[in-house]
Structure 1
């Protein structure tokens, strides 16, 4: 069998004795489990070890696969430059994986590397592995801002590449869990932190990888985890395979969660096709949304589907509510994919002759011109969720005390710089956070005074 198994491991630098200088004794259970996981992986005698690291090169819309014949790194950033790791890359695997990903519609490859040095998310697992095994080649892959489904698909491509090349492959999913477990921890406390760790350890301990899709982007962001996407790629690499899953340890004494699990493959299991099952649920949910959507959302969806499929912008259709023809207002069209923002473009005030025209123009822009994202692809259309916000006229206010994040959106202005944030957004829970985000969007520094305006919206789903 090409895919031998995988391990899920954390990457706290202090686990390296020369870095921790005694502090590592506070995570002794993790250290013991790490050694056991490394021994298990070594016993499989893989030809190639694929390392998935949150601290390698990361792009919003692209998976970076490290190029070249090899690389090295050290722990100089953690005051231990004498501890070095060197790897030899499996260049044939990298080339085949890049081509396989392209054929599967996954944006991945070797472009965009600025620094070839190994990151600590890669070096720490290999520091343990190298104590028990040598002679293997490595493939290092960074994560991306793409949806979880794309991470799973990349994992599937890893499995297919291993099969095509006849490689014996093991995967290391490097990633810490929540960074917000304790008030006195380095990142503070967030209620979602311990909840995430409990959920992820249950999922990973059972090998119940389909439930990884149930953890929303917003929830993961609030928990401040860094391993979720590594775990999803790993799950994809084990797609349709039976695995013996075992939890070796979990602890979080310093306010960051560390989990160690091992997965050994045990043959084919076609029923463990978790991505197909997830996509079926997504399509069913999309069908239900279409049945309940109002005219505003339907117009945005029809605009985008037509434009992406044909390149043509629709005309204002007949049969809309009268106010969409007669009224003018600022409109924002927002898109989400798998719970993550996929595009959002709008106008603060009316610039076209009707709300309907405003929706059509901004829907096209949200799907193709938001500078934060590449243009929506046709294969994404069934996974998109739409919302349309119709804005009331903005009014000047004297201070943040007149804001309410659930009721009012905010506009901040400093000279020619202007930023807007809509109200009642997931993850924006305070007025201070709302204003800070609006300032960042406008390129206004946090300490600059600004003119404040507020507005209300009617949100259509």
Structure 2
């Protein structure tokens, strides 16, 4: 197989760009270069992995039917149209091999999409790259894959399935990872986007494909990219080979990074799946070694829980105050900037703060009714914070400050709690409204108010 990374900016099409496409002149040349090379390779099938097809949260999607059509009419362009047939034999084999490996993959046809009120059509993540290829070569069938937010191991192993299926059928195949880089290159805080694009392309250039799985989760999340998972799957398809990336172009005139890369085969390389399976445990140890004592206890409790080991804490390892004081504690877990679990106690329920943290950390991961329980593979993606509460005291509405004080509202047996300094909560009215809603207290009901302060410990402090 031959491998390429191609961007998919609709504005690169002259009928859409109306002159603005000239700002992507180098990218246009790079895409034409890839198209010319593919025309000489004359592949029977093009496999393209896109972020913009029908996406499921728990399964990779393979489109499959007699044929499929697509255009760019959603971008007010009615000149670019294409109609393609699927390599259904290859589709079927990919599906069967995936099922044998317990990789969640679903075959989707137009009848299934109709049930979800979705059109069966090519998305722009496919149409834009194929626009260039079709100008020089059309004698191919298509395998259309939309990635899903699965675990790294599953994405990589699915790429291995693609490699195996192509070998079994002895197909001449070209694979394209369709994806743009950071979408935040003109934001006020653009450092994450710039850092992601730099690291991402540097790893491709050096052929360090397994390093894509080591990229900092916060950097990836803040960069708002759409090409990393496409490349993770394609990395699995390159398993056992040694490659280097020839970066044909990188441009970002509109605040989005567009990378165009051709991969050159250098010889036999390593098998990467075992490395990816071992990665989380290795990184978890390094996280534990550098955290403050309060966050350390929370993270160690999570690690020990999944190892089915009792968490043992000694006063030699931690500040004595954690064993002497009894206080309420909240433990919060975030994944890629989004809450993944939060459980806490307003008043202490155990003999000391350290034990309170252990209890609530495990509960946040396993008992928050708003979320599915955390899985062990997620641990290295989680950001842990610990809030230690002062004892609540009765107060009036005028004595509140949502940035400084947390609040407890109670009406009979109904009680709601809200921590201080939460994103998006700027006023006392907003704070009380949310706390009452959590408690199930109606707008016309009277309620008592208490306030408390917290000392917040976060990973990285």
SS of 1:110's equivalent in the other structure is strand
Q: Within 5 A, what are the aligned runs for 1:273-352?
A: 273-287=271-285, 296-306=298-308, 327=326, 329-332=328-331, 334=333, 343-347=340-344, 349-350=346-347
SS of 1:198's equivalent in the other structure is helix
Give the aligned partner of residue 159 of structure 1: 163
Q: How many residues align?
A: 420
Are 2:99 and 1:117 aligned? Answer: no
Identify if the C-alpha distance between structure 1 residues 225 and 287 changes in structure 2 by more than 3 Å, giving closer, same or farther: closer
Alpha-carbon distance between aligned partners in 2 of 1:34 and 1:219, rounded to the nearest angstrom: 27
Alpha-carbon distance between aligned partners in 1 of 2:306 and 2:101, rounded to the nearest angstrom: 23
Alpha-carbon distance between aligned partners in 1 of 2:306 and 2:323, rounded to the nearest angstrom: 18
Q: Which has the larger radius of gyration?
A: 2
Alpha-carbon distance between aligned partners in 2 of 1:129 and 1:399, rounded to the nearest angstrom: 66
Q: Within 5 A, what are the aligned runs for 1:256-271?
A: 256-265=256-265, 267-270=267-270
Are 2:34 and 1:37 aligned? Answer: yes
Alpha-carbon distance between aligned partners in 2 of 1:165 and 1:37, rounded to the nearest angstrom: 25
SS of 2:63's equivalent in the other structure is coil
Q: Is the 8 A contact 2:182 2:224 kept in 1?
A: yes
Are 2:28 and 1:28 aligned? Answer: no
Identify if the C-alpha distance between structure 1 residues 381 and 121 changes in structure 2 by more than 3 Å, giving closer, same or farther: closer
Are 2:365 and 1:366 aligned? Answer: yes
Q: Is the 8 A contact 1:305 1:381 kept in 2?
A: no
Give the aligned partner of residue 223 of structure 1: 223
Alpha-carbon distance between aligned partners in 2 of 1:203 and 1:358, rounded to the nearest angstrom: 39
Alpha-carbon distance between aligned partners in 2 of 1:299 and 1:363, rounded to the nearest angstrom: 7
Unpaired runs of 5+ in structure 1? 307-313, 424-430, 445-450
Alpha-carbon distance between aligned partners in 2 of 1:87 and 1:325, rounded to the nearest angstrom: 70
Alpha-carbon distance between aligned partners in 1 of 2:415 and 2:167, rounded to the nearest angstrom: 54
Q: How many Å apart are 1:10 and its aligned residue?
A: 0.8
2:65 to 41, 65, 68: 68
Alpha-carbon distance between aligned partners in 2 of 1:340 and 1:97, rounded to the nearest angstrom: 34
Question: CA offsets per residue over residues 94-152 of structure 1, 9 Å max, x none?
Answer: 33323333433433323674322221111111111112222322222223333444322
Identify if the C-alpha distance between structure 1 residues 456 and 205 changes in structure 2 by more than 3 Å, giving closer, same or farther: same
TM-score (norm 2): 0.74
Are 2:149 and 1:145 aligned? Answer: yes
Q: How many Å apart are 1:12 and its aligned residue?
A: 0.7
SS of 1:85's equivalent in the other structure is strand
Alpha-carbon distance between aligned partners in 1 of 2:399 and 2:40, rounded to the nearest angstrom: 64
Q: Within 5 A, what are the aligned runs for 1:73-84?
A: 73-84=70-81
Unpaired runs of 5+ in structure 2? 438-448
Identify if the C-alpha distance between structure 1 residues 258 and 319 changes in structure 2 by more than 3 Å, giving closer, same or farther: closer
1:108 to 102, 105, 110: 105
My pick for the range that moved more, 196-205 or 71-80, is: 196-205
Alpha-carbon distance between aligned partners in 1 of 2:286 and 2:425, rounded to the nearest angstrom: 32
SS of 1:118's equivalent in the other structure is coil
Are 2:169 and 1:172 aligned? Answer: no
Give the aligned partner of residue 11 of structure 1: 8
RMSD: 4.3
